[in-house]
Amino acid sequence: MLDSPGGPPTGMCHVGQRSQSIILDGEPPSRKEVGHGMARSTSRFPPRPLRRLLIAWAMSAATATEVESRATELLAAAVNSISPNDAARHVAALADDAFEGREGGSRGGRAAAAYIIEQIETLGFEPAGDGGSYLQSFGAGHRNILAMLPGSDPELAREIVIVGAHYDHVGYGKAGNSFGPFGFVHNGADDNASGVAGVIEVMESLVLLGERPRRTILVAFWDGEEQGLLGSRHFVRVRPAAVAGRPIAFCLNLDMIGRLRNERLIVYGARTGVELRSAIVAANNAPGTGASLDLSFDWDVLEDSDHHPFIMGRIPTMMLHTGLHDQYHRPSDDVNLVNFVGIAPVVRLTLALAVGMADAPQRPVFRAAALAESNATKRRLETRPPGGSSRGRWGIVTRPDPGEPAAPLVVNVAHGSPAQVGGLRAGDRLVAVDGHTFGDQTGMVALLTAAGDECRVEVERRGRLVELEFRAGGR
Ligand SMILES: [Zn+2]
């Protein structure tokens, strides 16, 4: 992760929409008025296979087909290959003093690159760098490392899903890049040997999938991140022949995933594509393989890691991060403090998300509005605006979210209402009613209105799916 970022976007905190209306769930009509047709989701994301699995799970697997159970089996085999021991081995290798802090363009950086390429060759990924090699050279002896798993779909294979992490760190540390003490090897075990280990683990799992994902998966190990996002910036500008001119459907950046605490994972960039949040939630909750982490969505778009150049390139992009700590950019960011057990669920989530994105029928639509959104926007949206009141049977006030049309945001729950008694909270997002997903808030309202005296509701709460039951009349 890059210290001293360029600073947050100034003075912008709009969601890119005019003022959003509050919708109140209505009185119950006769049940005949609402057909089942409207329960069908019209949204193109999250990735359909994962979403199907998710829905199957929500319906007690009653509708799971053979295809889906096979997919689950294969994914489970791949997921089972992800182990804390493997992560520990890679982090320990990369954070060894022998690599002298892996500064971009240095001999230690080159040695670290050799280690990474050795792993790639063992796994049989194809070169995606310059002239049939794994390297993309640029700048003052800098090298990105690029490898790919070609997609299985004749059409979609042209499109690319990127999973990347920077492998450089700050070398021996100096005033501009370290909080000191200077002159000692900065091993960067968390920043970002952890992310590199995560990408290598994802590669190992992809090989075990049995069936290759439909889109091409490009794994990228960026150089020069600590010197100003040099490697990712270069790649966005200039792409090697193997991947030049091909659409990038989605990019995922792992930066500092080695300090998971209280299962909390910070997710950046989920607003940069329509329904990216739904996609990562589906991956997080996939039956059997889900990481079930506590996802903390951060809406600020900062120039502090390799996700940023991709977002500026109008590519839907997310970054996963387990948070800063006292050893950040100091020699003490070392192997002994890494939570290896905690890397495994982050890698599981990365795998499920990458495969889901690679298999989805449509690629996500970039949201330029995300650039004008921030955590301040988030706070404002999640708070009940003045003048709003709730009524109706369940006592729920939601607002539509253009970034997540199929997951309206709960902004208020009336005191003593069936929804409150049932456990609904402001900040939750409704994703299904009585087992049916919906395309937008109107569909949600129709389902809530049509429901009987008892209503089963699926909500997303900090990345986890929770099932609640409402009883009309508060019984
Ligand atoms: Zn850093």
- Assess whether 358 and 386 both reside in one domain: no
What mean pLDDT value characterizes the chain? 86
- Assess whether 141 and 39 both reside in one domain: no
Taking the centre of ligand 1 as the mean of its atom positions, its distance from the CA of residue 329, in whole angstroms, is: 6
pLDDT band at 431 (very low <50, low <70, confident <90, very high): very high
Residue 16 falls within a domain, yes or no?
no
What is the extent of the structural domain holding 436?
A: 23-45+382-474
- Assess whether 116 and 248 both reside in one domain: yes
pLDDT of residue 42: 34
Residue 332 falls within a domain, yes or no?
yes
- Assess whether 286 and 191 both reside in one domain: yes
The answer to whether the CB of 403 falls within 8 A of the CB of 277 is yes
Residue 57 falls within a domain, yes or no?
no
Residue 58 falls within a domain, yes or no?
no
- Assess whether 119 and 248 both reside in one domain: yes
Q: Give the number of other CB atoms < 10 A from CB of residue 325.
A: 16
- Assess whether 88 and 150 both reside in one domain: yes
Taking the centre of ligand 1 as the mean of its atom positions, its distance from the CA of residue 166, in whole angstroms, is: 9
Taking the centre of ligand 1 as the mean of its atom positions, its distance from the CA of residue 332, in whole angstroms, is: 13
Taking the centre of ligand 1 as the mean of its atom positions, its distance from the CA of residue 1, in whole angstroms, is: 3
Residue 317 has pLDDT above 80, yes or no: yes
Against a cut of 0.75, is the pTM above it? yes
Q: What is the pLDDT of residues 286-298, one digit of tens each?
A: 877 789 999 999 9
Residue 315 has pLDDT above 50, yes or no: yes
Average pLDDT in the 150-170 region? 97
Taking the centre of ligand 1 as the mean of its atom positions, its distance from the CA of residue 234, in whole angstroms, is: 18
Taking the centre of ligand 1 as the mean of its atom positions, its distance from the CA of residue 324, in whole angstroms, is: 10
Q: What is the pLDDT of residues 55-80, one digit of tens each?
A: 443 433 333 344 455 556 667 778 88
- Assess whether 311 and 419 both reside in one domain: no
Taking the centre of ligand 1 as the mean of its atom positions, its distance from the CA of residue 2, in whole angstroms, is: 4
The answer to whether the CB of 318 falls within 8 A of the CB of 254 is no
- Assess whether 80 and 181 both reside in one domain: yes
Range with the poorest average pLDDT among 54-58, 134-138, 406-410:
54-58
Taking the centre of ligand 1 as the mean of its atom positions, its distance from the CA of residue 259, in whole angstroms, is: 14
pLDDT of residue 249: 98
Domain boundary among 363, 392, 418: 363
- CATH number, domain containing residue 299: 3.40.630.10
Q: Is the peptide bond before 309 cis (omega within 30 degrees of 0)?
A: no
Nearest to 328 by CA among 348, 311, 305, 310: 305
Taking the centre of ligand 1 as the mean of its atom positions, its distance from the CA of residue 289, in whole angstroms, is: 30
- CATH number, domain containing residue 399: 2.30.42.10
Rounded Cα–Cα distance for residues 12 and 374 (Å): 8
Report helix angle 340-359 to 195-208, nearest 10: 50
Range with the poorest average pLDDT among 62-66, 216-220, 366-370, 470-474:
62-66
Taking the centre of ligand 1 as the mean of its atom positions, its distance from the CA of residue 27, in whole angstroms, is: 54
Q: Which residues pair with 266 in a beta bridge?
A: 296, 321
Taking the centre of ligand 1 as the mean of its atom positions, its distance from the CA of residue 305, in whole angstroms, is: 8
Number of domains into which the chain is organized: 2
- Assess whether 35 and 99 both reside in one domain: no
Residue 194 has pLDDT above 70, yes or no: yes
pLDDT of residue 36: 32
- Assess whether 243 and 207 both reside in one domain: yes
pLDDT band at 16 (very low <50, low <70, confident <90, very high): very low
Residue 52 falls within a domain, yes or no?
no
- Assess whether 246 and 355 both reside in one domain: yes
Sheet holding 454-461, edge to edge: 23-24, 396-399, 409-413, 429-433, 454-461, 464-471
Domain boundary among 333, 363, 393: 363
Rounded Cα–Cα distance for residues 369 and 287 (Å): 32
pLDDT band at 4 (very low <50, low <70, confident <90, very high): low
Taking the centre of ligand 1 as the mean of its atom positions, its distance from the CA of residue 475, in whole angstroms, is: 54
pLDDT band at 195 (very low <50, low <70, confident <90, very high): very high
Residue 375 falls within a domain, yes or no?
no
Residue 54 falls within a domain, yes or no?
no
Taking the centre of ligand 1 as the mean of its atom positions, its distance from the CA of residue 307, in whole angstroms, is: 13
pLDDT of residue 64: 36
- Assess whether 261 and 389 both reside in one domain: no
Q: What's the token pair of residue 295?
A: 């996802």
Q: What's the token pair of residue 147?
A: 């490898």
Residue 3 falls within a domain, yes or no?
no
